[in-house]
A and B are shown apart, each in its own frame.
Chain A
């Protein structure tokens, strides 16, 4: 095998990988670079990067929950409304009922849990398709927001705004950078190296050859390089700004949920239900419980996203969260999830969400109007999934379709398989 191929196969994959995932991350990098050049360096400037994260953290948080919902074979259209409903109640709880802001956050999460239990009940225990339940929820909770807020905006107090617009604190010696952000970057770099070493050991324990050493080193170098670059950028912003709190919440959730979906029985049950619900049931998976959980979890994350948004915009309004569900769903599908369920990863969805975010941001920097931005976003979504579907039907490897596999597990199978093997999973499609 040529070195180039070796590189393609192994560069971005945890343990082993293949070219498909390479393709998706490559797309993201390419888009970033194109805009970086097009905007004369504006895209990767500290203030823009910080704004990018602040503006998109809530969508990416939604994408985490949406990925699990979609993998389980459902959909959630209500997230924007749930976020708005939670936002207005939380805002009201602080301004009118004088709840201290930490208690208000807990209150908000509890609202999300109750709404989620409501929707999960209909989906899991009554068997109403999630599409219908959440379409109803979309109307219900949008109306609820406007009913409670009298279609007015309610401002939120200072302390609460931190979760949406706060930054890591300044402390320690004056290095010219934000020290907390630097430390965070350092921790991330250490984690990347540790993970690579662990992955190599795991491969060895499985009697499989780990990727060649030079590839491991190159991969670590690239990752550490990206982290160092990002850390320096975030740390060198305007004084008082640094890595945003909402970004930290996002990163923590991504790590926690990636771990959950990949490394726990509960996570695996979600994939089992989406892949073949009857087979999962006959393997002892508690179908109703899994469906209930993914729907409930989604609403809790929607509540969190709603609060972060309200905190950032300093007030809760009647139009908050409009269209979020579509952004979250788009991120998940661009990130390689299957419409029929059973396939997808958290990390893929985050990459998908970032592709949309960078596109959005870059076009806005160039002064492209929201009308045209929407058109472009729509086409990107269609194109990304269409290329994937087309490649699959041609028996060639799909760029995003199995983006998840390298993240989830090793995939040493040949890139293409006989079409009849490809067609079978489609039959196992599960919905509602």
Chain B
């Protein structure tokens, strides 16, 4: 393989922010026409490295050299790197929801005729680009009307419109369901066979193992190693070892559940969509949670798991139609989030940044935000108690931050999630609903969060975990409900849970015999 030319070489890249060395002496060598994965825990420096490469951090703001296509490149901004054929697709898609697919593809790059935009040509070219990424839609369709999976494809089509030579994908499948992920990975394979080089950052190690030719592992801003997947016989455990610097004997901490009585029950829950009233998002759903039990909710994207959770959590989603909630033998009516919190419910949202945290806040303020009454006396907040509470959780959850005065926007995903968990643990809930608690979080932090979830259950709380990762549900939960199109389609005990059974029930309306 040594005769394959090198497309990109980043030599001893060092990037410092005031007070933090984000990258130190990082090396990356990407061969032409390969899929090169970059792995590392959150905060290892992957995104920073890609920002250096794409000119977000311009030449001069870092040390080291970028050799691209045989000569040194000094990108002054993103435009410069794009002109050289390097296109980065961020985790948070940069599309404009109110514009059409074609408009988005050519945004900033519009085909012109006599100074005006040539829409005929644009649509024709858009169709051509969409075909290359396997996207079958009308180019006039608005972005907001297509799913995340297709939006991702639009982003890639947009990259092709710029004549891409090196495609960088940051967590491309993080928000995709299994089918869309598979399509995307197939697409990348197709690009490889056509000689396009890709760099992929991902936490999904199984995908990396399946698709990458080489893997570069970063840890704490340094290059640990570059592995050749075939030659080195790399598997997931090998990658994990490189990332965390130690063996993870198991992905889940050992746990013996102490399950008690049923204490929380939802019966015949019906909720309508907030805007289109004829759409039923929860159809007669019923479920129970026992003390000390971790209950999973499995389902495909859009199955209505988040909608169910949020509508139970003080009707924070949709229009309530009918259904009862019974807690500790008594019916409770939760008309607002405040009611839900007062009745011992907590909901950790799947979208940390948009729904879980105020990014202007520091750790301290965030920790106490859901239960200010606990640190107030006669309506006056006690700063010292606030500090002590936040500090206690920081230590207990091992949140990595110098002090609790640190702004949450400066924390990595895993640490932000710990702050959100602390916020809801601080509210003393009996039932915690965790929606995708480990999304976008690296392996090490995931393990810690599983441990926290198990400890919470051991304290006699009920925990509901909503997750799109089946291994996570199977490894963590004592019982799993499957949800399909707004209805609960099955209930599976831990002993019987395997991916095939779950997947079958997640995709079928027929209610299987529950055990």
Chain A residues near B (Cβ < 8 Å): 202, 205-208, 263-266, 268-269, 271-272, 275-276, 278-286, 342-343, 395, 409-418, 420-422, 424-425, 427-428
The docked-state distance in angstroms from the alpha carbon of A263 to that of B402 is 24
Among B51, B313, B373, B410, which residue has its beta carbon within 8 angstroms of that of A417? Answer: B410
> Is B357 part of the contact surface with A, judged by Cβ < 8 Å?
yes
> Is B275 part of the contact surface with A, judged by Cβ < 8 Å?
no
**Given A421-B407, A421-B410, also A284-B357 (CB < 8 A):** no
* Interface contact B380-A264, CB-CB below 8 Å: yes
* Interface contact B360-A428, CB-CB below 8 Å: yes
Query: B422-445 CB contact bits vs A (8 Å, 1 = yes)?
Result: 010000000000000000000000
In whole Å, how far is A386's beta carbon from the nearest beta carbon of chain B?
Answer: 21
In whole Å, how far is A297's beta carbon from the nearest beta carbon of chain B?
Answer: 16
Can you list 23 A-B contacts (CB < 8 A)? Answer: A206-B383, A206-B391, A263-B380, A264-B381, A268-B369, A268-B381, A272-B358, A279-B354, A280-B358, A284-B341, A284-B370, A342-B358, A395-B17, A409-B362, A409-B405, A415-B18, A418-B20, A418-B48, A420-B51, A421-B409, A425-B360, A427-B353, A428-B359
* Interface contact B405-A276, CB-CB below 8 Å: no
The docked-state distance in angstroms from the alpha carbon of A424 to that of B423 is 20
Interface residues on B, range: 35 or more
The docked-state distance in angstroms from the alpha carbon of A205 to that of B383 is 10
14 more contacts with CB within 8 A, not counting A276-B354, A279-B356, A414-B18, are: A205-B387, A206-B388, A268-B365, A276-B357, A280-B358, A282-B316, A282-B337, A282-B355, A342-B358, A412-B405, A417-B407, A418-B17, A418-B410, A428-B358
* Interface contact A202-B336, CB-CB below 8 Å: no
The docked-state distance in angstroms from the alpha carbon of A425 to that of B361 is 9
The docked-state distance in angstroms from the alpha carbon of A281 to that of B360 is 16
Q: Name which of A208, A276, A284, A425 has the most chain B CB atoms within 10 A of its CB.
A: A284
Among B51, B314, B353, B376, which residue has its beta carbon within 8 angstroms of that of A265? Answer: B376
* Interface contact A281-B20, CB-CB below 8 Å: no
In whole Å, how far is A369's beta carbon from the nearest beta carbon of chain B?
Answer: 41
> Is B379 part of the contact surface with A, judged by Cβ < 8 Å?
yes
Chain A, Cβ-Cβ closest to B338: A284
Q: How many A-B residue pairs have CB under 8 A?
A: 135
Residues of B within 8 A of A202 (CB): 383-384
Chain B residues near A (Cβ < 8 Å): 17-20, 22, 47-48, 51, 313-314, 316, 336-338, 340-341, 347, 349, 353-362, 364-365, 369-373, 376, 379-381, 383-384, 387-388, 391, 402-403, 405-407, 409-410, 423
Residues of B within 8 A of A412 (CB): 402-403, 405
Q: Name which of A265, A282, A410 has the most chain B CB atoms within 10 A of its CB.
A: A282
Among A205, A206, A266, A271, which residue has its beta carbon within 8 angstroms of that of B379? Answer: A266
* Interface contact A276-B403, CB-CB below 8 Å: no
Q: Name which of A279, A420, A425 has the most chain B CB atoms within 10 A of its CB.
A: A279
Residues of A within 8 A of B387 (CB): 205-206
Residues of B within 8 A of A266 (CB): 379
**Given A283-B337, A283-B423, also A413-B358 (CB < 8 A):** no
Chain B, Cβ-Cβ closest to A266: B379
Among A265, A268, A282, which residue has its beta carbon within 8 angstroms of that of B349? Answer: A282
Residues of B within 8 A of A280 (CB): 358, 369
The docked-state distance in angstroms from the alpha carbon of A263 to that of B51 is 40
Residues of B within 8 A of A205 (CB): 384, 387
Residues of B within 8 A of A424 (CB): 353, 359, 409
* Interface contact B410-A275, CB-CB below 8 Å: no
Residues of B within 8 A of A395 (CB): 17-18
* Interface contact A413-B407, CB-CB below 8 Å: yes
**Given A264-B379, A279-B357, A418-B20, also A413-B370 (CB < 8 A):** no
Residues of A within 8 A of B373 (CB): 265
* Interface contact B18-A281, CB-CB below 8 Å: no
Chain A, Cβ-Cβ closest to B384: A205
Residues of B within 8 A of A414 (CB): 18-20
Among A269, A413, A418, which residue has its beta carbon within 8 angstroms of that of B22? Answer: A418
In whole Å, how far is B277's beta carbon from the nearest beta carbon of chain A?
Answer: 18
Residues of A within 8 A of B391 (CB): 206-207
In whole Å, how far is B317's beta carbon from the nearest beta carbon of chain A?
Answer: 10
* Interface contact B358-A265, CB-CB below 8 Å: no
* Interface contact A278-B380, CB-CB below 8 Å: no
* Interface contact B360-A343, CB-CB below 8 Å: yes
The docked-state distance in angstroms from the alpha carbon of A48 to that of B316 is 56
Among A263, A411, A420, which residue has its beta carbon within 8 angstroms of that of B381? Answer: A263
Residues of B within 8 A of A269 (CB): 372
* Interface contact A272-B369, CB-CB below 8 Å: yes
Chain A, Cβ-Cβ closest to B349: A282
Among B19, B354, B383, which residue has its beta carbon within 8 angstroms of that of A278? Answer: B354
In whole Å, how far is A306's beta carbon from the nearest beta carbon of chain B?
Answer: 29
* Interface contact B337-A284, CB-CB below 8 Å: yes
The docked-state distance in angstroms from the alpha carbon of A427 to that of B407 is 15
Chain B, Cβ-Cβ closest to A268: B372
Among A207, A275, A286, A420, which residue has its beta carbon within 8 angstroms of that of B360? Answer: A275
9 closest A-B pairs by beta carbon, nearest first, are A275-B358, A265-B372, A414-B19, A284-B338, A275-B360, A276-B358, A205-B384, A206-B387, A283-B370
